[in-house]
Amino acid sequence: MRNLQLNINEIFCSRQGEGTQTGELTTFIRLSGCNLNCAWCDTKYAKKGKKINVNEIIKEVKKYPANNISITGGEPLIQKDAIILLTKKLLNEKYKISLETNGSLDWKGISKKISISMDIKTPSSKTFKNNFNLIKKLTKNDQLKFVIKNKKDYQFMEEIINKYVPEKNTIVIIQPAWGTDLKKIWSWAEKDNRFRLMVQLHKIVWKEKRGV
């Protein structure tokens, strides 16, 4: 297979600040470009990047001590062919890989050894291109995430869980949008056992600083 290139925004090593691997040392491969434009997107800077071939990316990753790899964006799946090659090679190197996606594009062809972190865009995102049929593809090794800013988002999340998730083993996470009143969301969620309420650890520590 030819050595494809990816549009890369940044590669760095830090602690994972979101989801089920929060706190774990992780190398982040942030791809540039996205097919959506969410109102509360915190990585708008990822619209730009530079082309790097897959082998060079792997060389860069090997400079860091982390065994975990997070492929994020932007939206990685708009570069799916090259992602398939990159992840195949990373798996051969025994890395543990997670892939973050905005829930609009199918990850068919991506190895089942990779953990999928799928977003569902809530009304406050002002973007509604969710492919709810993808939820049924998630497994117990994956996670489904909702960013919650207000009560409308929370009620939307409840509707989606009730309709699509009740018999799944997939971990469901609700993540307060940055700057949201955490106590208010906590009060809505305190008696619901269907999901985990998790904050963005890296933002608590570093605010909007990049590369951490």
pLDDT digits (tens, 9 = 90+) for 87-114: 999 999 999 999 999 999 999 999 999 9
Q: How far is CA 76 from CA 41, 84, 103, 175, in A?
A: 15, 10, 11, 21
Say which residues have a Cβ less than 8 Å from residue 138's Cβ, sequence separation at least 6.
116, 118, 144, 168, 170
Q: What is the mean pLDDT of the chain?
A: 92
State the pLDDT confidence band at 186, using cuts at 50, 70 and 90: very high
Output the pLDDT for position 167.
Answer: 67
Structure tokens at 15: 């602690």
Residue 187 phi/psi, 5-degree rounding, is -65, -35
In angstroms, the CA 69 to CA 61 distance is: 9
Structure tokens at 180: 């949201």
In angstroms, the CA 103 to CA 119 distance is: 5
Across 70-74, 104-108, 164-168, 196-200, least confident range? 164-168
In angstroms, the CA 41 to CA 153 distance is: 15
